[in-house]
Amino acid sequence: MRFLCDQNVDTDVAATLRELGHEAWTAAEAGLSDVVDDELTVYAYNRKAALITHDVEFSRRRSRAVVGQHIWLRCTELEAAELLRTHIDEVVSLLEHGRDVWMKVSKDGLTLSRRWV
């Protein structure tokens, strides 16, 4: 599975995903530190990567207009890597079954959407 981490996601998240056998990189590594959210969506979509973010507004917009694969981490930056490690099997399974998927990952589990509202 491929993952792109937004600028607001701790680099430990990408490192953890790579440790778990996935391809993962940060927006900074891609030279995208200063682009707007929708450009990150397009970049990730074109590379068949799930976009991971902590951005509340961005995630709420994507939940209403599901484009690509979007993962909203609802936790502190310091908790993010461990939270993803805990839920990675379920996250990957859901991503493998749909091109346009939005999910919220929190301590309470996963919330999923595949539709436009």
Q: Residues 26-48: pLDDT tens digits? A: 999 999 999 999 999 999 999 99
Token output for 37: 């959210």
Number of structural domains found in the chain? 1
Contact 74, 58 (CB under 8 A): no
CATH of the domain at 29: 3.40.50
Contact 12, 58 (CB under 8 A): no
SS3 content of the chain, % helix, strand, coil (to 5): 40, 25, 30
pLDDT digits 0-9 by tens, 4-20 = 999 999 999 999 999 99
Can you give the pLDDT at residue 114? Answer: 75
Q: Could you list the residue range(s) of the whole structural domain that residue 104 is in?
A: 2-113
Percent of the chain scoring above 90 in pLDDT: 85
Per-residue pLDDT band for 117 (boundaries 50, 70, 90) equals: very low
Q: By mean pLDDT, which of 39-43, 74-78, 79-83, 109-113 is the weakest? A: 109-113
Q: What is the pTM of this model?
A: 0.93
Taking 60 as the threshold, does the pLDDT of residue 3 lie above it? yes
Per-residue pLDDT, averaged over 60-83, amounts to 93
